[in-house]
Structure 1
Amino acid sequence: MQSTRVVPTTEDDPSPSKSSTKSLLDSPQQSDDSGKSEPRTDARHDNPPSHPDGALRASNPLSPIPKGKMPWWRPIYWSVLLSILQIINLQVLALLPLLLLALLFRTFWFSSKSYSRPPSSLNVAVIGAGWTGLQVTGQFKDLGVDSVRCYENMNDVGGTWHKSLAYSGLKIHTPSWMASFAGFPYTKNPPGQKPTKLEIEQRVHNTDLQTYFKKYATHKSINDKFVFNSKITQVSYDSKTKKGHVTIYNSKTKRATEEGPFDAVVFTGYATYPNKPDLPGENDFLANGGQVYHSCNVNDALLASLVSQNKKVIVVGAGKSSCDLVLQFVEQRGSRNLTWLFRRPYQFMRCEKFFHNRSVWGMLSGFMVMIFWMIALLFPQLSWNVLRGSGHAWTYRNTKDTKHDYSTFHFGMLDPRQRYILEHEAPQLVGNPVGFTNKGLRIEKDDEILIANVVIFCTGYRSGVDQIKTVKDGKPHELELDKKLFEHIICPDFPILSSCTNFSTTAGPMRGASVSEYLIYHLCVRRQASEEAMRVQANRLFGQFTLRQSILFADGFFQKWIRLLLDLVLRGLIPWQHLLIHFIQILLFGFTRPPTMNLLPRLPKKWRKGGGAELREELVIKDGVYGGFMAET
């Protein structure tokens, strides 16, 4: 029978470790109750800190991180890399005639298109008022769709950034220009004033971000589009009329209502429900006084309470949210009772390398990133190894057994200070949690038990689309959650429903601008394809995304995002030159605008002149299906 080994916490371990170290924020020595000072040890530190400037960092946690020496081989590496880039550039030039021919064909094709119905005739339901839902709603309004309803389960805009879901220390991990709305950059200045240089490069905290969301809604005059405290529980679809209704449960009135008919129901949620693993023995752990949380529940007050009470905490997870919480524990002097447990380390980009200072060298570096990200379409691991060798990619655990797997990169960015703390000060342990005991968490490695009072799961989220009931032609319908979406956005078996979670033409909320333009093109310009035709075309896509799997949380994001963009280019939905310009803007010049899709023809003069009200009145008389709200169920 295999024996069980109990791994002690810092205070339980009587023997000093050879790899012991001082905490980043603790003084060089810890005092016990008798007043004697003894060096602190940490037997659980699986990756011991070894930085020579640890004492400097301990005395002043906000002091600059000492720069490490450049590896002797780095200049040679760059020389070889630049030679390879020259060869790649020559091959691209050889393909230029074919690319220009494709551009001419696309231009001719879309110039011959015309509207079959005006955008002002559409009635759209948007599910979720996070940053994507806000951008989708605002862009619909800009493109002439006045009848939009945005349903939000919580009491305000914000989504993942709402205060009820925001964990301690949550902020965006890119500069604000990468996470701003299209045409409305982040700033605390009054509307109409440009952001300061500091604001452009700032990584915004969630409280400031939610204020920015409200400013955007006011700026776009879309506050009247939101319906708060409203959870969509069901979507009904009539395949003959191509219309749908939604059933909403209001958490305040405790009543269910039905609204519609709608031409499209747009699901925008990326992280609606916490994805907490259901491990055996949790009830025993809770009955013994243990506490279990998901990262979204760990706000500032709870984290401060855990630190002040000297709770023994295990943070489970390897991604960005686990890094953020580990950093918060270290900064609040709570790392001495902390264990950071993960199955494998995740890969990150160095923030200052990806978002450089726009120098000539920085632009050259950005060009290299762009080329090798494209090469990841065929050789993802090779591309990632190149980016790691050039100093762009990084992970917090660097031991002989560490596998630098590209599939664990999820567009996470870390700055030098964060990287230093995570690599040198955070008590790491590699292991797979398989269950609880009444004393803590059991891990698969040698059947060890980690003693703990609190376990925090930083294990991501689910979109929640599978929680919505669907009815088709009056009968219950099961969504094909694991089948590919038509053009990565529309459900072939239930075409009233579109999902934004994988239609990522860019990062941040700007992707929502592309969603609105695409759906107007789909509903008002091109001929509607049959469900079977959409299913066949969806299966031909290179991307593997489904309703269940979001691109952001998918393993292999590094390669899969390029596959998605390739699909959109080959389908003619994004001009290749606009996508190239978009990458150049981000990686070389440090700014961004949403990639122009150029799908929509010019509106006929009679529609521009008369506005939408008169036309909508005609449509009501003609088909009798436009409008119709708030029917009790």
Structure 2
Amino acid sequence: MESEKVAIVGAGWAGLQTLQSLKELGVEAEVFESRGSVGGTWTTDMSYHGLQKRNLMTFKGQAFPFKGMTEESLREKLDAGSVREYLESFAEKMELKEMIHLNSRVKEIRYHSKSQKAYLLVESDGAEVEVEKGPYRLVVFSSFAAKEDVMEEIIKKDLKVLVVGGGKSGCDMICAFQKKGYKQLTWLFRAPYWFLRYAPVTTGGFKGFLFLCSLLLFLFSYQLPVVVAWLIGYLVLPKSEGGLLPQHFDGRRFHFGILDDKQVAFVEQVAAKQGEPKELTKEGMQLESGEMLKCDVVIYATGYETGWGDLKLLKDGEVVDAGDVKLYHHAVVPNFPCLMSASTAFFQFGPCRGLTTAQYITWYLQAAPSEAEMIATAQQNWSSQSAGKALAAQGDDK
């Protein structure tokens, strides 16, 4: 593997962990980050107001705990600034910065099937020309795109806000506004989503064991595991309409989002409306029922964009579409075998995924499966995930 080289797109949590783990494993790698600093979601221009993170997640491989970590702090959530400082110190202490190209946006990947090598077309801030980088045996896409925050402008103008989407993104938006004391909010969704309760997750114990066992029931039913997890107090369904029982037990509306008690309280304070959006008008959002929800701003919190679709892929000079292709091992694009998606590689959760992704990369570089083998294996996938989104964020897909 000494002759192989890997490129990583994105210097967020996953990108940094993958880079450090590959370094430990003796694989040469470098990172391309479009922004001016490491940190991904936690950088200043991407972390919205009140963004928090579970303190349970730390970098793996070489032990690198949060500064001042205690048994008590393990049950708290960190603010974005603390996480950003932690990520930057990790890159510094592990001597990764010399392998990271900041202000470098990957525009195109060119793959040559005969040599099995890939080249990147990179656009750098302040440069008038795009530069070709490579060759690489594998390109790991470990990036999520986001829009700059406009919350301050909304609050300053006292605009009426409609948040559309009942999942984790919708809750994040609601909590972000609530933390600023802003009340001009309405929440619209088709049906409420289930969330993990933060306190039981950090406690573990016998109930935690029962919850892990209940997840196996997803092999047979969408409803039964949710019922079990709710009964033992691990799940909550905010803004559920109805009586004593939750409105539904549909496991397809459970994406492993986590809410602590304060976040649940924030969400419960917001006016919520269930319905199907029809069209935008000058007054606001009109529903299929005919009801009009008046607002000045609509925030669509119905999913996320990874930036995957912005990449131009060329294989032997021909454009390749990797949007709906089934992935080899849920990770590598079989008809473009130099490209791997870190967000779909469900080998683990959190930073552990960066470590196991690096381990997988070392296996892949040595195994060197043929395109025919990868395509045949990918066709056996039970899931219908797409390359641009993580498996747990596919709406009603399996």
Using the size of structure 2 for normalisation, the TM-score is: 0.93
Task: Find the counterpart in structure 1 of residue 327 from structure 2.
Answer: 485
Instruction: Choose the corresponding residue for 1:199, options 73, 78, 85.
Output: 73
Identify if the C-alpha distance between structure 1 residues 333 and 464 changes in structure 2 by more than 3 Å, giving closer, same or farther: closer
What do residues 490-520 of structure 1 show as CA deviations (whole Å, max 9, x unaligned)?
Answer: 1110101111111122221220111111111
Identify if the C-alpha distance between structure 1 residues 332 and 246 changes in structure 2 by more than 3 Å, giving closer, same or farther: closer
Identify if the C-alpha distance between structure 1 residues 332 and 315 changes in structure 2 by more than 3 Å, giving closer, same or farther: same
**1:247 Cα deviation after fit:** 0.5
Instruction: Choose the corresponding residue for 1:404, options 221, 226, 249.
Output: 249
Task: Find the counterpart in structure 2 of residue 160 from structure 1.
Answer: 41
Secondary structure (helix, strand or coil) at the match of 1:197 reads coil
Instruction: Choose the corresponding residue for 1:318, options 144, 157, 166.
Output: 166
C-alpha contact 1:348 1:409 (8 A) present in aligned 2:
yes
Q: Report whether the alignment pairs 1:440 with 2:314.
A: no
Q: Report whether the alignment pairs 1:243 with 2:117.
A: yes
Amino acid at match of 1:453: D
Which consecutive aligned stretches of 4+ in structure 1 deviate over 6 angstroms post-superposition? Answer: none
Secondary structure (helix, strand or coil) at the match of 2:343 reads helix
Equivalences for 1:288-303 in 2 at 5 Å? 297-299=149-151, 301-302=152-153
Task: Find the counterpart in structure 2 of residue 521 from structure 1.
Answer: 363
What do residues 167-188 of structure 1 show as CA deviations (whole Å, max 9, x unaligned)?
Answer: 211112x3x1235444444423
Instruction: Choose the corresponding residue for 1:348, options 169, 173, 195.
Output: 195
Instruction: Choose the corresponding residue for 2:29, options 148, 151, 172.
Output: 148
**1:378 Cα deviation after fit:** 2.0
Hey, what's the Cα distance between the residues in 1 that align with 2:104 and 2:44?
17
**1:333 Cα deviation after fit:** 3.5
Larger radius of gyration: 1
Secondary structure (helix, strand or coil) at the match of 2:133 reads strand
Secondary structure (helix, strand or coil) at the match of 2:31 reads strand
Identify if the C-alpha distance between structure 1 residues 171 and 180 changes in structure 2 by more than 3 Å, giving closer, same or farther: farther
Instruction: Choose the corresponding residue for 2:336, options 476, 481, 494.
Output: 494
C-alpha contact 2:320 2:336 (8 A) present in aligned 1:
no
Q: RMSD of aligned C-alpha atoms? A: 2.0
**1:264 Cα deviation after fit:** 1.0
What do residues 179-209 of structure 1 show as CA deviations (whole Å, max 9, x unaligned)?
Answer: 54444444234xxxxx222332221111211
C-alpha contact 1:126 1:266 (8 A) present in aligned 2:
yes
Instruction: Choose the corresponding residue for 2:266, options 390, 398, 421.
Output: 421
Identify if the C-alpha distance between structure 1 residues 316 and 487 changes in structure 2 by more than 3 Å, giving closer, same or farther: same
Amino acid at match of 1:406: G
**1:455 Cα deviation after fit:** 2.2
Secondary structure (helix, strand or coil) at the match of 2:132 reads strand
Identify if the C-alpha distance between structure 1 residues 555 and 179 changes in structure 2 by more than 3 Å, giving closer, same or farther: farther
Hey, what's the Cα distance between the residues in 1 that align with 2:118 and 2:180?
51
Hey, what's the Cα distance between the residues in 1 that align with 2:7 and 2:59?
23
Identify if the C-alpha distance between structure 1 residues 127 and 450 changes in structure 2 by more than 3 Å, giving closer, same or farther: same
- Aligned length in residues: 395
What do residues 543-573 of structure 1 show as CA deviations (whole Å, max 9, x unaligned)?
Answer: 333313322422368xx5xxxxxxxxxxxxx
Amino acid at match of 1:531: E
Task: Find the counterpart in structure 2 of residue 449 from structure 1.
Answer: 292
Hey, what's the Cα distance between the residues in 2 that align with 1:273 and 1:310?
24
Secondary structure (helix, strand or coil) at the match of 1:380 reads coil
Amino acid at match of 2:258: M
Task: Find the counterpart in structure 2 of residue 387 from structure 1.
Answer: 229
What do residues 353-389 of structure 1 show as CA deviations (whole Å, max 9, x unaligned)?
Answer: 1221xxxxx5110110111112212223211111112
Identify if the C-alpha distance between structure 1 residues 233 and 328 changes in structure 2 by more than 3 Å, giving closer, same or farther: closer
What do residues 274-319 of structure 1 show as CA deviations (whole Å, max 9, x unaligned)?
Answer: 6xxxxxxxxxxxxxxxxxxxxx5244x34542xxx43222122212
Q: Report whether the alignment pairs 1:376 with 2:212.
A: no
Amino acid at match of 1:476: E
Secondary structure (helix, strand or coil) at the match of 1:502 reads coil
Equivalences for 1:50-449 in 2 at 5 Å? 119-145=1-27, 147-172=28-53, 174=54, 176-189=55-68, 195-269=69-143, 271-273=144-146, 297-299=149-151, 301-302=152-153, 304-305=155-156, 309-335=157-183, 337-356=184-203, 362-400=204-242, 402-423=247-268, 425-445=269-289, 447-449=290-292
**1:483 Cα deviation after fit:** 2.1
Task: Find the counterpart in structure 2 of residue 549 from structure 1.
Answer: 389
Secondary structure (helix, strand or coil) at the match of 2:130 reads strand
Task: Find the counterpart in structure 2 of residue 52 from structure 1.
Answer: none
Identify if the C-alpha distance between structure 1 residues 422 and 430 changes in structure 2 by more than 3 Å, giving closer, same or farther: same
Secondary structure (helix, strand or coil) at the match of 1:133 reads helix
**1:253 Cα deviation after fit:** 1.5
Amino acid at match of 2:145: T
Hey, what's the Cα distance between the residues in 1 that align with 2:117 and 2:302?
37
Secondary structure (helix, strand or coil) at the match of 1:501 reads coil
Hey, what's the Cα distance between the residues in 2 that align with 1:514 and 1:215?
22
Identify if the C-alpha distance between structure 1 residues 365 and 128 changes in structure 2 by more than 3 Å, giving closer, same or farther: same
Hey, what's the Cα distance between the residues in 1 that align with 2:140 and 2:181?
44
Identity %: 29
Amino acid at match of 2:195: F
Amino acid at match of 1:448: E
Hey, what's the Cα distance between the residues in 2 that align with 1:457 and 1:398?
20
Hey, what's the Cα distance between the residues in 2 that align with 1:332 and 1:236?
46
C-alpha contact 1:126 1:149 (8 A) present in aligned 2:
yes
Amino acid at match of 1:529: P
Task: Find the counterpart in structure 2 of residue 538 from structure 1.
Answer: 378
Unaligned segments of structure 2, at least 5 residues: none
Hey, what's the Cα distance between the residues in 2 that align with 1:378 and 1:182?
35
Amino acid at match of 2:385: F
Unaligned segments of structure 1, at least 5 residues: 1-118, 190-194, 275-295, 357-361, 561-633
**1:123 Cα deviation after fit:** 1.2
Identify if the C-alpha distance between structure 1 residues 239 and 332 changes in structure 2 by more than 3 Å, giving closer, same or farther: closer
Amino acid at match of 1:347: W
C-alpha contact 1:178 1:507 (8 A) present in aligned 2:
no
Hey, what's the Cα distance between the residues in 2 that align with 1:346 and 1:266?
31
Hey, what's the Cα distance between the residues in 1 that align with 2:389 and 2:66?
33
Amino acid at match of 1:137: L
Secondary structure (helix, strand or coil) at the match of 2:375 reads helix
